[in-house]
Structure 1
């Protein structure tokens, strides 16, 4: 058998594969974050949006000339349309941050994975992993030497997946003497700077088809407040810090990842929380920092709901592919940090947390630029 017939048989396979991927990318651009039933395709690993077109380009080189051009063109279009959602941090290759001034502040944001809960978690760590060490938990927090800590999942969970309030304020005051503390729902913010305003942002002013609060819940705020705004007096100016934990696309009561756990209620709650957050930021004239666990990979279009005032701090990261989850085997980034133009980002790094959490922490060094 000659090479020509084999090449002819490869022509439709390469071109069909490239075309099918382009159709997926176009649909993803149009539907992701807009319709609830696209949540399963949204779970595509973000890096695939760059890797698949590159593989198709390589495969196109084996085809005959005419098919090669067509397949390569289709693959390049899909790379152009989807590459920006791949999670690749290309800006890290050329970005050079300005050195931090003496009055720069350090901010640490972290999803604590149910705080210091020492009992079996609703999503337990792998067999053989020891339960959280409470003393190690606080040592880790203090070791960040941060001026502001934005902490999520200030909550414990029962065996029935019911959230349980945590009151660890006395311990926090002992561990962080002189710090000011604000709490709302499952969020806690600690600050060396005085707090001049604090409030939880409730999603309920945003229209929803269904309420995210389970019937009979004795803590509705856990489901309806997913951002804590804290205005701090930093020197002679006031800066807003938004500590966010946007709802997961997976219904926590479903007990696992299946088609039923990716439902309309979760999707609408995610949108409502991000819209409430964006509305507050748009109406806020103060410089602002937004950080937390958004439960959204770079491939998820719901991130387009983040306020236009905010810029991703990722260029300051020294990683071409930053990943914050899972902390033990990082897959992709779901923890984000944003700032308004008045704030300069001098350093931004991810801090591994070992067995303390399934999320890496985010540490930033910031200053008011104007």
Structure 2
């Protein structure tokens, strides 16, 4: 007869304590998942609709993808409500994924090759044109950034070799963020011979094609309150406060194509530096809405193919983008980046510069162009064609 021995393995005390600590650390996961789901739902309901939700809107957009993925990973190793937590984390990802700025179309979209007559478009927020930092800028440059040279500035613009340039912040700023009108038309004509030029407010559009119509789009008919229609007393640049989009219609190959050059107001008053949540205000919110509504009304009544590009001061997580013209489609599928970001140019985490086009316009190429320290925004370069 053969004896059978049973050996019991006793966990080491140290290992047991570590496992217990790990389980304790994971206890908040179900609650955290539920809290993030509530936050995501509130964000989708309130963002862009009420001014005081502008503070949560400053959450980096990628958080709407990263946080649910981390919660899902934690749910897979927790013992408490594992399935429920995993379902809630997935719901967070599905519900908030559109606000994350993740460009999934980059995985499969393959733009059609550009035809020989394709149009190159370059859009860029210039960061107060060629103004030198020591010449009255209301805020100093980032550490290590030298004052820019006007020759380098114009060289960068010429290097884009664009048929159409949509440039924002064609303006200098004085003490107290007082806008000062720029008159650089003589140099623009020297630097870009043969180009046609349209200017309104702080916006300038340069085109190799003839301009058949140009106008600044005034926000005042769309302002919600009387004070939002007012121009500050003594302003030397009244249209800076009332016009944030320049429409320029160009004659391209026998047909008219509209180009909208836009710079929507920041959530923060321009008198303050950076995205300081203490400086958010209902007035800024109303101005942003009025400008987007004015833009949408003009584009909605425009029968021509159109391109819209510029600095919207709005991330993918900001619901105010719902006010964009219905005809316009984001050009992002033509980008090769899974997470396109344009601001701050040195270490970009947010996409606040956008490009859109109507269905008659095909986007063959779309890339973000780093400015090498000349601006806090990256440029946007597109190659497009218009169906005949």
TM-score by length of 1: 0.96
Q: State which of 112, 119, 124 in structure 1 corresponds to 2:126.
A: 112
Distance (Å, rounded) in 2 between the aligned partners of 1:136 and 1:315: 32
Partners of 1:252 and 1:261 within 8 A in 2? no
2:369 pairs with 1:355: no
SS of structure 1 residue aligned to 2:351: coil
- The aligned residue for residue 31 of structure 1 is 46
The aligned counterpart of 2:170 is: 154
Matches within 5 A, 1:54-69: 54-64=69-79, 67-69=81-83
Higher Cα radius of gyration: 2
User: Among 352, 359, 384, which residue is 1:341 paired with?
Assistant: 359
Note the C-alpha offset of 1:344.
0.4
Q: CA deviation at 1:318?
A: 0.6
* Selected match of 1:181 from 197, 201, 221: 197
For residue 177 of structure 2, give the secondary structure of its aligned residue in structure 1. coil
Q: Which runs of 5+ in 1 are unaligned?
A: none
Separation in 1 of the partners of 2:364 and 2:224?
39
Output one character per residue of 1:297-349: Cα deviation in whole Å (capped at 9) or x when no partner: 11111111111100000000011111111111111110000000000000000
Residue 267 (structure 2) pairs with residue 253 (structure 1): no
CA distance in 2, matches of 1:5, 1:195: 72
Aligned 8 A contact 2:180 2:236 in 1: no
Q: Is the 8 A contact 2:231 2:241 kept in 1?
A: yes
- Alignment partner, residue 124 of structure 1: 140
Aligned pairs (5 A) from 1:68-107: 68-107=82-121
Partner of residue 367, structure 1: 385
Give the conservation status (yes or no) of the 8 Å contact 1:327–1:358: yes
Structure 2 counterpart of 1:18: 33
Answer whether contact 2:177 2:271 (CA < 8 A) is retained.
Answer: yes
2:301 matches 1:287: no
Q: Secondary structure at the match of 1:289?
A: strand
Distance, in Å, in 2 between the alignment partners of 1:268 and 1:161 is 20
CA contact (8 A) 1:10 1:63 kept: no
The aligned residue for residue 235 of structure 2 is 217
**Large movers: runs of 4+ above 4 Å:** 1-12
Count residues with an aligned counterpart.
369
Partner of 2:60: 45
Partner of 1:320: 338
Please name the residue that 2:9 is paired with.
none
1:5 to partner: Cα distance: 6.4
Q: For residue 341 of structure 2, give the secondary structure of its aligned residue in structure 1.
A: coil
TM-score of the superposition, structure 2-length normalised? 0.92
